[in-house]
Amino acid sequence: MTALREGARLRLDYSAQSLWRLDRMIDDIRRERPPYPAVADVLRGFGAYAGEVIVRQTGAEWLATGGEHWIRTPDGRLWDPIDEARRCFAGDGSLRLLCRDATAAANGF
């Protein structure tokens, strides 16, 4: 898949802005129409990266329950960045917006 090969050159720095690049990469992958199983691990990695961005920006923590991984922000809210990456692939999500919302919630906005 062209998008994944090109994505190997992405520079990710754990900034909220880097999530915009991942959203675009997921859009590019979706346009190539690969079967979900072919990209499931990549999407999981993108979601985990987005979760780590949230952790670093908000002081959140990772939680694992029932085989799922969540982020709990200091305000007690739970976020599922791995599922958000799957939703992005389905055309109904954004890692950048998830981070924006989690960061705003953690900061009391």
* E strands in 1-109: 61-65, 68-72, 78-79
Residue 1 banded pLDDT, cuts 50, 70, 90? very low
Extents of the domains making up the chain? 17-106
Mean per-residue pLDDT of the chain: 90
Tell whether the model's pLDDT for residue 94 goes beyond 70. yes
User: Which of 8, 101, 92 has the alpha carbon at shortest distance from 50?
Assistant: 101
pLDDT digits (tens, 9 = 90+) for 33-72: 999 999 999 999 999 999 999 999 999 999 998 889 999 9
pTM of the model: 0.88
